[in-house]
Structure 1
Amino acid sequence: MSKPDVLCCTPFSPADIGRLSAQQTERLLGIALFGNDRIEARVACPVQHVGAPLLGGTLAGELWLGTGACRSGVHADIRYCVDELALYGVIEIDEPASSAQGSTPLQAAVADAYREIFALLDREGFPHLWRMWNYVPAINANSHGIERYRQFNIGRHQAFVDCARPPAHSPAACALGVAAGPVSIAFVAGRVAPITIENPRQLSAYAYPPEYGPRSPTFSRAVLVQLPAQELLFISGTASIVGHRTLHVGDVVAQTLESLANIAAVIEESRRFSLAPVRAEEFSYRSYIRHGEDFARVRAAVERELGETAAMSYVQADICRSDLLVEIEASASLAGANVRKTLA
């Protein structure tokens, strides 16, 4: 068979692992798996296990396929795979019982994890982070006198500063809460620097005022990656925020529609930079819903706005702000095959 020339991210269930062809198995860059299944013993690539329930019969996760045979490795606590274009890695960290004075255990653990990630990327020659997925237990709880999401932001920001990485050139990202388990971080990086894209309806997250914590969140609203055979657009976790304020507190339907309006604004902004047509129907989405009982209303709102055939998966998870009920992320391949296509 001819060598594939695009990166692919496809929905899958654990049973699909046994049905992969030899070529697909060689191309495995990484897997994101939601729920309680464990499959790491059956694959050589890194697996991000996210202990968050799926809603509405959504497939269990996403499987990243590289452009050719992948090489796997371990760096410190990170499992990773690389091909010619990209590196996919996963790190799970347990918070220490104590930390240095002036730093909470979560803050210290996150800073250490991000520094390990940057060291790996520099060593392997994939210095540019494209997309990150962060899952933090009890993200809205308070400990050591400060909310845990704010602790996470302090640790992440410190690593960016320590490693001389400007916040204005940060990757697309999300940070969600899970009930228990380690802090889990997955990431995709490459040799090509992404184009960062901001939302004209929102203040850039890294410029939030101090009321949201001692350090602002370090991520871009979206990034566009221009590769030889495709463009990848990663849109960060997006919520009902205009400027820097939460809108529609307590109204999950209105928050869903505002989140989709923000995603539409980012898609429109991306047209200024993309060399390929940006078509809304090429996007795939994931919706994180704080309360499982809101699933039917969120899905109905999504289908009214995007149509019943929109590629949307649904996960129950806590959102980074306690007054947010839903968050939606999106991604697409804007040239070549769709980045989230079904397994052949």
Structure 2
Amino acid sequence: MMHGCENALAEPLPRRAPRVAYRSGDVATALAEYGTLAVFGFGSGTRSEEDPRWFRVALESFDAPASLELWQVDADVVHGRDGDLRWAAGGGWLFAAVDLSEADHGGPSPAATHAYEALRRLVESRPERHVLRIWNYLQAINQGEGDAERYKLFCEGRAIGMGDFFAEGFPAATAIGHHGPASRLQVYLLACDQPGERIENPRQVSAWCYPRQYGRTPPSFARAMLLPAQDALAISGTAAVVGHASAHQDDLQAQLEETFTNLEALLARGRLAPGFDTQSPLKAYVRHPADAAQVREFIAHRLPGVPVLLLHGDICRSELLVEIDGWRYA
């Protein structure tokens, strides 16, 4: 007689996190490697490729030539394209991206709605239904006053496009203003067929609980996401915010110190050892080009050997000078 436990289906092993790394070299070579889920270039000087896994981010790098960012998984990868939408999948992981002109959709709010509806429809149709991390890049993010600020309008359109898809909780996310093509909106995500664990910062109010001063629709993201195997933490855009308020206006050094205090709080809440290492790539978004050298020096001193992409980008609050996101592997 067979015991019931012998008939039980084994629980699937948690998905190992994709390997995220920065690398110099040729785009075509990176795309040809086994397991390449996505390759990102930065700035207007980056060459174009037709492969849907290639995505040129409209943020200029302060370093030349800019490194490529690679996402790789331990599996064969398939990919496709449908109008503005491109995607690639393998090993239980999904990359999907939308790159469109706001002018074609009537402004930041309807463009965000269109982008998120397209991504939501794709994810709902696939086994990789757990969106863990999203990046949003839009032009002139701080332009406009009050509720007419472009970032606030983007947040409203995003919420409409998402519908109730994230009713159980939001993914980690970044939203940065680029200085690239006028009205360009870029959104891309990483999803999995297994859920992650949302991580909040005890030093900060959760973004979806922000008070009315931050817009009719609050930002909708988790501060970080622990990936299914708990082998990596995907860190949202992190800046000098304490509670819900921006700290240290016009003081770059103090904002950097506060940002790193917030990063360490996320590592602790994610049950990871403090600090970053050479396998933990970060992005630093710097509002003013004149500040890039100071940011580079601070990070090199604080995190020697840690790979960092230094990018020209506007933070979603005009008083914030720098924001950092990235990955911390266990």
> TM-score when scaled to structure 1?
0.84
Distance 2:97 2:211 in 1: 31
Matched, 1:66 2:76: no
Q: 1:124 to 1:248 in 2, by over 3 A?
A: same
Residue matched to 1:47: 54
CA distance, structure 1, for counterparts of residue 59 and residue 71 of structure 2: 20
Q: Which residue of the partner structure matches residue 196 of structure 2? A: 194
CA contact (8 A) 1:80 1:90 kept: yes
Matched, 1:252 2:252: yes
Superposed, 1:122-271 pairs within 5 Å as 122-142=124-144, 146-160=148-162, 162-166=163-167, 169-181=169-181, 182-227=184-229, 231-271=231-271
What is the alpha-carbon distance in structure 2 between the residues aligned to residue 200 and residue 53 of structure 1? 33
Aligned length: 313
Q: Are the structure 2 counterparts of residues 47 and 305 from structure 1 closer, same or farther at C-alpha, using a change threshold of 3 Å?
A: same
**Structure 2 match to 1:310:** 306
Q: Which residue of 1 aligns with 2:27?
A: 17
Contact 2:113 2:157 in 1 (8 A): yes
What CA deviation, in whole Å up to 9, does each residue of 1:85-137 have, x standing for no partner?
Answer: 200111112114675xxxxx210110121011111011122111111111101
Letter aligned with residue 284 of structure 2: S
The amino acid that maps onto 2:54 is V
- Deviation track 1:212-241 (CA, whole Å, cap 9, x = no partner) reads 1111111100001123xx622101000000
| Deviation (angstroms), 1:29 | 1.1
Specify whether residues 33 and 153 from structure 1 end up closer, same or farther in structure 2 by C-alpha distance, changes over 3 A only: same
Aligned partners of 1:289 and 1:315 also within 8 Å = yes
Distance 2:31 2:293 in 1: 36
Secondary structure of 1:108 counterpart: helix
Give the distance between the partners of 2:36 and 2:46, measured in 1 at CA. Answer: 16
- CA separation of 1:57/1:38 partners in 2, compared to 1, >3 Å: closer, same or farther? closer
TM-score normalised to structure 2 length: 0.88
1:286 aligns with 2:280: no
The percent identity for this pair of structures is 29
Aligned partner letter, 2:314: D
Query: Retained in 1: the 8 A contact 2:233–2:327?
Result: yes
Q: Partner residue of 2:44?
A: 36
In 2, Cα distance between equivalents of 1:49 and 1:170: 25
Deviations 1:134-157 (A, max 9, x none): 110111111897000001111112
Unaligned runs of 5+ in 1: 100-104, 335-344
**Aligned equivalent of 1:8:** 19
CA RMSD of aligned residues (A): 2.3
Residue 303 of structure 1: how far off its partner (Å): 2.8
Q: CA deviation at 1:301?
A: 2.1
Q: CA deviation at 1:39?
A: 3.9
Q: Does 1:80 align with 2:87?
A: yes
Question: 1:331: which partner in 2?
Answer: 327
- Could you list the runs of 5+ residues in structure 2 that have no partner in the other structure? 1-15
Q: Structure 1 residues 279 and 179 mapped into 2: Cα distance closer, same or farther (>3 Å)?
A: closer
Q: Distance in 2 between matches of 1:85 and 1:328?
A: 27
Q: Is the 8 A contact 2:105 2:111 kept in 1?
A: no
